[in-house]
Amino acid sequence: MCLAVPGQVCAVHDEDGLRLATVDFGGVRKRICVETLPDVALGAWVLVHAGIALQQIDADAAAESLRLLAEATSRSEAPPR
User: Do the domain assignments include residue 14?
Assistant: yes
Could you tell me if residue 58 is inside a domain? yes
Model confidence, pTM: 0.86
| 81 domain residue, yes or no | no
φ, ψ dihedrals at 77, nearest 5°: -90, -5
Q: Which domain CATH number covers 41?
A: 2.30.30.140
Is residue 28 situated within a structural domain?
A: yes
Question: For 15-67, what is each residue's pLDDT tens digit?
Answer: 999 999 999 999 999 999 999 999 999 999 999 999 999 999 999 999 999 99
> What's the rounded Cα separation, in Å, for the pair 45 and 25?
10
DSSP string for residues in 54-65: EEEE-HHHHHHH
65 located within any domain: yes
11 is a domain residue: yes
Q: For the chain, what is the domain count?
A: 1
Contact indicator for 61, 27 with CB cutoff of 8 Å: no
